Amino acid sequence: MLHLNRRATLALGLAWPLPLLAQRGRDALVIGLTLEPPGLDPTVGAASAIAEVVLYNLLETLTKIGPDGQVRPLLAQSWEVSEDQRTYTFKLRRGLKFHNGEPFNAAAVKYSFERAAAEKSTNKDRRLFAGLAAIATPDEATVQLTLKMPEPDLLFLLGQASACIVEPKSAAGNAQAPVGTGPYRFEAWSRGASLTLLAWPGYRAPVAIKRVQFRFISEPAAQVAALLAGDIDAFPRVAVARSLAQFKGDARFQVLTSGSRAKTLIAINHQRKPLDDVRVRRALAAAIDRKAVIAAAADGFGVPIGSHYVPGAPGYVDTTAVNPYDPARARALLKEAGVAGLNLTMKLPPVPYARQGGELIKAQLAQVGIQLKLENIEWAQWMASVYGQRNYELTLISHVEPLDLGNYAKPGYYWGYQNAEFSKLFERLRETPREAERLPLLAEAQRLLALDAAAVYLYQPQWLTVAKKGLKGLWADMPIFANDLSALSWS
C-alpha cells in the first residue's frame, strides 16, 4: 500500500485544489457531484447532470419547481390561463438583466422557445415547444403562449431545465460558459475535476453563499473519503449507503433521505430483434428480481415499480404484479417465442447503481438461459451512442424527470418504442385538463406500458444527501434534478 504525505503528493503533481487546502469561509461551499456534465446548456443537451449545476443557479425559467413539486413564479411573476387551457399569458419581472448586461424581456423568452422548437433543435423537449401555435409579445413584459392542443402540465414543464431562458447574443456559447439571469455567474471549469460559480452582484436578491465549487467524484469509496476528510460540504444523491451508519453516527454530518420521481429501468431497443417480440421483453422482466436489484444497485434505497410511474405521483397505480419475478415463466415465454441461446449486450453508464446492478442482472438472466455481456461506457459515450444513435440492445439507466410518459409517444426516441394505442391514449391525456378525468387515463397508460413490457421497470430511487451539520436550505425531497444554491446558507 502506498502512503503519501502532503509534500510527496504535491511533488507528484497530485495537488488538491487550493481553495480546499485553506479554511473555507461561511460564504463558500463545496458540493460533490457523481457525474460531470458533458456541457452546460440544458436547452441543447439531455444529461440531467447539466441541470444539477445550472438550473436556478446560472439559468432561470419562467416558473420554478420547489422541493414539494409545486410551481412558483420565477422570471414570470404571474400568469393567467384561458378556460380552454390553450392560452397562457405571462407577466414578466421588469428591470432584469442577463449576466452580460443585456436586458431580460419578452423578446428573450420568444427567442428561447423558438430556438427550442426549431427543426434542428436538440432540446430533449422539442416536442413541447413545437406544440406552440404562436408566441405573442404584446409588450416587453408580457408573453402569450398559444398551444396547438392543451398541455395540463405546462406550468411545471416550463420550470424544467429544457425551458431555461437564454440571451440571444450569447446562446451559442452556453455549453461552455452559460450566460443567464440567475443568482450565480460562471467562473471556471477544470474538466474532470471541478466547476466554480460566483455570486452575481447584479442579481435581484442577496444570496448567503458567494462562492460555490462543484467537485466531480464518481467512485463511491472516494465520495465517502472526501466527505469524511471535510473536502466536501454537501453531496446530494451520494452513493454512501454502505457507510450510512458511519455518517449518521458522526455529529459533524446531517443525512437526508429524499423521495424522487425517478424511474430506474432497463431500457430496451425495440428496433433490435428479438426484442421487438413482447414475449421476449416479458421474459426479461420475469427473470429479474426487483428487490434483489434494489439491494445490489441502490443498497436497499428504492421502491419496486412495474411501469414508468412512481408512488407518490398523482394517479399512480401499482403494476408490479403485471410482470412479477418468475424465472419459470421467463423460460416458458422464451420457448413460446422460439428463442433459445439468446445473447444480449447491456451498456452501463458510469454511475454506481448501473455498475453495481449490472452484475446481478447478468446472473439472474443467466438462470433463464440468457447470456448477457456487460459493457461499461463513459457518460459521453452513453449520450452519443445509446441516446443519440440508438446503438445498443439493453441499458441500465435512471430516468429522473417527472411527467415523462410522453417519451413513449415520441417518434425517434432512443428506445424506438412504437405503439399506436399508447400514442392515442397519450393524446387523450394531453387533451384532458381536469384532473378527475386525467387520473383514470394515467392509470390506463401505466398498465399498458406494463403489459407491453416497454422496458424492464425496476425501482423508484430514494436519494441520500450527506452534508455538514451547519448547512441549511437543502431540499428534503427532489422531484427534479436541481441544486438550488440561493436557498443555502450556513447557520
Q: How far apart are CA 341 and CA 364, in angstroms?
A: 15
Cβ atoms of 420 and 299 closer than 8 Å: no
Same domain, 230 and 81: no
Name the stretches of the chain with pLDDT < 70: 1-24
Q: How far apart are CA 78 and CA 89, in angstroms?
A: 8
Written as one letter, the residue type at 6 is R
Same domain, 305 and 230: no
**Domain CATH code at residue 474:** 3.40.190.10
The closest of 325, 349, 330, 348 to 340, measured between CA atoms, is: 330
Same domain, 136 and 198: no
Q: Whole domain around residue 219: which residue ranges?
A: 20-35+183-259+463-490
Question: Is residue 6 situated within a structural domain?
Answer: no
Beta-carbon contacts of residue 469 (< 8 Å; ≥ 6 apart)? 251, 252, 253, 254
Same domain, 348 and 450: yes
Same domain, 362 and 253: no
What is the per-residue pLDDT for 433? 81
Residue with cell 415463466: 329
What is the per-residue pLDDT for 259? 84
- When divided into structural domains, the chain yields a total of 3
Same domain, 385 and 413: yes
Residue with cell 471541478: 194
Same domain, 481 and 448: no
Beta-carbon contacts of residue 246 (< 8 Å; ≥ 6 apart)? 224, 228
**Domain CATH code at residue 335:** 3.10.105.10
Q: Which of these three, 152, 173, 194, is where a domain ends?
A: 173
Same domain, 166 and 292: no
Give the CA distances from residue 256 to residues 119, 240, 301, 309, 474, in Å, rounded to whole numbers and listed in that order.
42, 12, 12, 23, 9
Question: Is residue 15 situated within a structural domain?
Answer: no
Same domain, 112 and 247: no
What is the per-residue pLDDT for 462? 94
Question: Is residue 338 situated within a structural domain?
Answer: yes
Angle (deg, nearest 10), helices 420-430 and 435-451:
160
In DSSP terms, which residues pair with 72 in a beta bridge?
Answer: 64
Same domain, 28 and 61: no
Question: Is residue 282 situated within a structural domain?
Answer: yes
**Domain CATH code at residue 116:** 3.90.76.10
Question: Is residue 369 situated within a structural domain?
Answer: yes
Question: Is residue 10 situated within a structural domain?
Answer: no
Same domain, 131 and 61: yes
Per residue in 82-141, pLDDT tens? 988 899 999 999 999 999 999 999 999 999 999 999 999 999 999 999 999 999 999 999
Same domain, 237 and 275: no
Question: Is residue 13 situated within a structural domain?
Answer: no
What is the per-residue pLDDT for 24? 62
Question: Is residue 43 situated within a structural domain?
Answer: no
